[in-house]
Amino acid sequence: RLNRPTSGNKSIVNNSSDYDYVIGSGHLMGLLVRLPFHDAATFRRRNDTNNTNTNATTSSSSLAIGGADGCVDLDSAENNGLKEAIDLLEPIRQKAFIPAGEGEDEAILLSRADVWALAGNVMIESVGGPRLAYKVGRVDVTDCAGQWERHVSAESISSMDVEHAFVEELGFTHREVVALIGAHVLGKASKVHSGYDGAWVQRNDRFTNDYYVDMLHVPWQRDTETVEPFGERTTWHRFEGMRNMPEIMLQADVDLAFQTTGGWFCSRIGGEFIKGLSCPNATHGFAEHVHEFAADEEEWREEFAVAWEKLTGMTESELECVMPDCWTPEESWSASQSSDEPRSSDAAAAMDGTTRFYGGLSLFMLAWHIL
C-alpha cells in the first residue's frame, strides 16, 4: 500500500531556477555518481591496524571506519564540488522516510548515505545504465576529517596506487575496479573544482562504454600545466586534426591501459601506434579489462552493476531491501531516448537528463512518502 502525499506536498524541484542551476552546473550527472563513490570508497575494515582516520564522533566500542556513512571531508580538494550535490539532495533527505510497517512504532528515516546511494542509482539508470540493487540502513556520521587521504589522486603515476586503494584495502577485483572507473563516461571535470577541465567523452550524458573505446582507439596527447591553487595538472587531450579537442583523460585513467611512466618517455596514447611517441600497452592486472569492456559493452554493464552494489554497500551497518526484488524501482527513464538520437544542444541534453532524473526520483520518493 502506497502512502499518498497530501495536497500540501511540494515537488522536489520547486521552480525553474532549480533547473537553471542544474543546467548551469553541467556536471550534475558526474557529481551525483561521484558523491556516493567518494562516500563509500573511504571504507576500511575494523581490524586494519594501519587505519588512523576513524570517525571521532563514534564510541570506542563501535569505531566507524568510513565507508557509506553520509560524510565526505569537504575541506579536502579531492572532494571539491561535492557540496553542490549534497545541498541539492538535502531537501530530499529531510523529507524521505519509509512508512512504519506492521508491528513497528515509527517510520524509518532515510539516512544521508541512503539518499546519496539512491541518487547515484537513479542517475545511472536514468541515462541508460543497468538496473541497480538498492538497500537501506546506512548510518550517518558527522566527522570524517582526514579520510580524503584514502582516495587515489588523479595525478597518481602508478597503477599500484589504484591497486592498493581498491584491491588491497577494499577487496575489489581488478575487473571490478576497471568497471567502476568507467563511470567517468558521465559528467565532466571542472577546472574550478579540480584544475582539470572537460568531459571524458563527447557524449557524456549516456551510460555507454565510450570511455574504454575512446581510450584505446582515439589518439590522446599529454599536456602538463600548473593550475593555481592545485599545482601541476597532467591532462591527456583527445587529439584530432592536429589540434587538441575538449575531451580529456586523467593520468590515473590512462595508466589503467598504458605504460606512461617508469622510464617510458612518451606523450601519446590510443589510436595508431607511432614509434617514439606512443606509450606501450600496460601489462598489469587492470589493462586486459579495459580492452574487454571496450569490445563488449554488455559485459561492462553487468560487472558495473555488481561492483556498484558492492561499493555502495561498504558499511558495517546491516542493509535491507525496501522493494521485494531489491532493485531500484524502474520508472519512465527505462524507455529514455536512444543513444543514437542527436541532441540539439548541451543545454537540451542536460535538461532531458535532469528531467528524467527528477521524475524518477520523485516517483520513487512519493511511493514511500514525502511530507
Confidence of residue 78 (pLDDT cuts 50, 70, 90): confident
d(CA 66, CA 68): 7
Residue in the block written with cell 545504465: 129
pLDDT value of position 307:
98
Measured in degrees and rounded to the nearest 5, phi and psi for residue 37 equal -65, -50
**Residue range 131-155: mean pLDDT, rounded:** 86
Confidence of residue 335 (pLDDT cuts 50, 70, 90): very low
Q: Which residues are CB-neighbours of 181 under 8 A, at least 6 positions away?
A: 211, 253, 256
pLDDT value of position 261:
78
pLDDT value of position 56:
33
pLDDT value of position 352:
46
SS3 22: helix
d(CA 209, CA 179): 10
Cell of 132: 541497480
Average pLDDT, the chain: 78
**Residue range 21-35: mean pLDDT, rounded:** 68
With contact defined as beta carbons under 8 Å apart, do 97 and 368 qualify? Answer: yes
SS3 226: strand
Print burial letters for 244-268: b (CB count within 10 Å at least 16), e (below 16): bbebbbbbbbbbbbbbbeeeeebbb
Say which residue, 157 or 244, is predicted with more confidence: 244
Say which residue, 1 or 297, is predicted with more confidence: 297
d(CA 292, CA 286): 10
Please give the share of the chain, as a percent, with pLDDT higher than 70: 71
Confidence of residue 263 (pLDDT cuts 50, 70, 90): low
Per-residue pLDDT reduced to its tens digit, 148-168: 677 787 777 778 889 999 999
With contact defined as beta carbons under 8 Å apart, do 312 and 120 qualify? Answer: yes
Please give the share of the chain, as a percent, with pLDDT higher than 90: 52
Indicate whether this model's pTM tops 0.95: no
With contact defined as beta carbons under 8 Å apart, do 151 and 42 qualify? Answer: yes
Identify the H or E element spanning 235: strand 231-240
d(CA 204, CA 192): 19
